[in-house]
A and B are shown apart, each in its own frame.
Chain A
């Protein structure tokens, strides 16, 4: 099918984009287009105006601010995938980004586009949730920041008001030597996850877990932190029984079901993946600790 008629706008500055978004009737923002374009081609959407953010200056780029890595909303997934900064400071994101679609879609798709589309199975919102990322938003009423928890309101529903534009995502790296793991189950490589799990882990000098993040994607209407699972591990030495307890919590998260993939299945796979991700994260944390001692 062919897209319905619309008028295309290509603002060069954020102010221009905000002005268009505030004044045009029924506008739609176009980022990488890897979700919006299929919806247009299927005529599921019929916006009168399309505001293309691809030419807006200053919205793309990865900036190391020391205590934080700030990724512009229009940064392409490919550039995240191949970024040395991301690889060094945000290894969870570097791993997860490789599960996003395919090379050909990552070359266009943007992190901001994915966060605003907010598919419950998408990897980038999952990482943003796992890392408590902060989202920078510009709008007619000025600029504001929102934690990912508050941004992800519900199924495919970001906390954006009319005329607002997501401009960047601030990730605070975990301590050097933290453990991490990202596992995903999909029917085929590159498909949206049926379940994905992101794990972050910091160990104290005595080997006990001092900080834990366990987040599931694909299970609920948005990515969810499994706080019970995190609690089950905090302060433990992350032994097999602790891992089993945390995994059991992941298997009890309220899950979405549909005729193809029922809720019980998502819960089961969440449990399986958690039980596999935690040892992987732990091994990385131990390996880093080991290296640290050698240094």
Chain B
């Protein structure tokens, strides 16, 4: 077993910014974002691909950050929760989906929230007017111990009801 793990250089776009980094082959994307890029908004809840806390968008698609190697993101565009308030103003600046989460009390401890926001961001881009079942199906890929999910569903539907382009 080679103890000093194999490393390689990768270049990717993270939240619209080009980044070139040297990463360990074995580092997963979530750990890379958190510890190498200090984007700690993406959380790690199980490291076996069930809880969904580490969900980020890779080339626009929601993926488990713990089930993808950082080296596999070479050349990709990655979006994390830190991108969602871009263009908003002030200390309480929130994007429309984030605002809907606040309005509908869709988070409690907040640990699972960033991953859920990313999955719902993908959903609302693909389908600006999803019904409750569509929201629940996407949400079923996430575990939340605090909310019982219903306020998250309500928040997603509220964000979806905003005029197109707002969400």
Contact = CB atoms under 8 A, between A and B. Distances in A.
Nearest to A39: B48
Contact of B66 (A8, A37, A54): A37
Contacts of A104: 52, 55, 62-64, 119, 141
A50 B61 contact: no
A5 B28 contact: no
B63 to A, nearest CB: 5
Contact of B69 (A1, A8, A103): A8
Contact of A107 (B2, B24, B63, B74): B63
B71 A8 contact: yes
Nearest to B6: A7
Interface residues on B, range: 20 to 34
Interface residues on A, range: 20 to 34
A contact patch SS = loop
Contacts of B137: 102-103, 189
Given A104-B141, A105-B49, A190-B141, A6 B61 contact: no
B85 interface: no
A8 B3 CA distance: 14
B contact patch SS = mixed
Contacts of A42: 48
A33 interface: yes
Interface in A156-170: none
Interface in B85-115: none
A52 B72 contact: yes
B28 A3 contact: yes
A108 interface: yes
17 contacts: A6-B5, A7-B2, A7-B25, A8-B26, A10-B72, A33-B67, A37-B67, A37-B69, A38-B47, A41-B28, A78-B61, A103-B122, A103-B123, A108-B61, A108-B64, A108-B68, A189-B137
